[in-house]
A and B are shown apart, each in its own frame.
Chain A
Amino acid sequence: MEMKCKPSSHENPKAEIEESIRFDKSLQELKELRSQLHNAADHCETTFLEAEQKKDVLENTKEYICRAVVTVIDHLGNVSANLECLLSQENEFTDAELRINGLKQRFLSCEQYAHQLALTKMRWSENFPRFHSRYLSSLPTLKRSSKEKQRDSENQSPSKIIDKHILGTEEDLPLFMYTHKPSLSKNSMSRSAKVDGQTNLAFVLPVRDGLPVLTKVPNPTFHFQGTPRVGRHRKSLYGSDILSLIRRTKRT
C-alpha cells in the first residue's frame, strides 16, 4: 500500500488523476475487507464448534483477529491519507481566485477607460480653432463704411439681431480672442461660424470686464409679446361695457 502525497500534483493533472484513482482503489479494498472479515468470523465459529481441540482453534482465531485488526487499521490509514491528500490540495482554488481577481481588475480598468472616454466626449476639445491675429481688431479700427455695415446687417441672422437688442450699447466693444471656455454653448459657436462664412475662422466675442457678453441667452418668449395686448384689449372692452351699462342705469 502506497501513501504518497505529492504537493506539486496540482501542476500535473495526470498525477492528480492517479491520486484519485488510488483513493478509490483503497476504499474499494476496505469495503471488500469487511466481507472477508465476516466470512472469516463465520468460519472461525464453525471450526470452533466442530473441533475437538478447541484451544488450538481459539489460538488460531486470536491470531487471525490480531492480523485482521492490523489490516483494517492499515486500510483505514491508507484511505484517510489519500483523502487527506486530495483535500489538502487547495492550490487550485487559490489559482482560480487569482484568475478571478485578475478578471475583476481587467474589468475595472475597462470601466475606467469607458468613463474616461465618456468624459472626453463631454470635455472641451483642445483642437478648437485658434484665432489669427488679423481677425483681432481694436476699438479705433471698428469704424467701417456705411456700405459694409449695411451688408453686415443684411447677412446677420435674426438671432444675431436679437443679441444686438439685448446687448444695447455694447456694439462698440473691442473684440478679443476668446480662449478655452468650456461653458460656451454650441449655438454661439455655430452662430459665429455662420456669420463669418468660414469653418476655420476664429471665434470672436465682445468682452467687457473680462467676461463674454454672449453668455446672455436671448429670450425664447420673444414671439409671445403680442398675446398680452389682446388680453388687455379684451379687459378694456369689458370695462367699457360695464361703464356703459352703469350710465344707462343712471339715465333710467
Chain B
Amino acid sequence: MARAGGITNAVNVGIAVQADWENREFISHISLNVRRLFEFLVQFEASTKSKLASLNEKLDVLERQLELLEVQVGTASANPSLFTT
C-alpha cells in the first residue's frame, strides 16, 4: 500500500509539474504575442509620425505658397494702374 501511495504521489507530482510547464508555456506564448503587439504598435507609431510630419511639411509649403500668392495679388490689386492702357 505504501508503495502504491508513493507511486500515486509521484504521478501527482509529475502531473502537477507537467501542468505547471503547460501554464508556463501558455504564459510565454501570451507574453510573446503581447511583445509582438507592442512592437507592432511602436512601428506603427513611428510610421504614422513620419507620415504626419511629411503631411505637415507639405501643408506648410502650401500655406507659404498661398500666403505669397495672396501678398502678390494684393500688391497687384493695390496698383491697378499697371493694367490700364
Cα distance A114–B75 when bound, in Å? 13
Selected from B30, B40, B85, the residue in CB contact (under 8 A) with A69 is B30
Cα distance A73–B69 when bound, in Å? 48
* In the assembled complex, A152 has its CB within 8 A of some CB on chain B: no
The answer to whether B83 touches A93 (Cβ under 8 A) is no
Chain A min CB distance to B2 (Å): 28
The answer to whether B44 touches A114 (Cβ under 8 A) is no
Give the number of residues in B that approach A within 8 Å (Cβ atoms): 27
What does DSSP make chain A's interface, helix, strand, loop or mixed? Answer: helix
Q: A69-B34, A76-B41 are in contact. Are A107 and B83 (CB under 8 A)?
A: no
Listed in ascending order, the chain B residues whose CB lies under 8 Å from chain A are 19, 23, 26, 30, 33-34, 37, 40-41, 44, 48, 51-52, 55, 58-59, 62, 65-66, 69, 72-73, 76, 82-85
**17 intermolecular pairs with C-beta atoms under 8 Å apart:** A65-B30, A69-B37, A73-B37, A76-B40, A83-B48, A84-B48, A87-B55, A88-B51, A97-B58, A97-B62, A103-B69, A104-B65, A110-B83, A114-B76, A114-B83, A117-B82, A117-B85
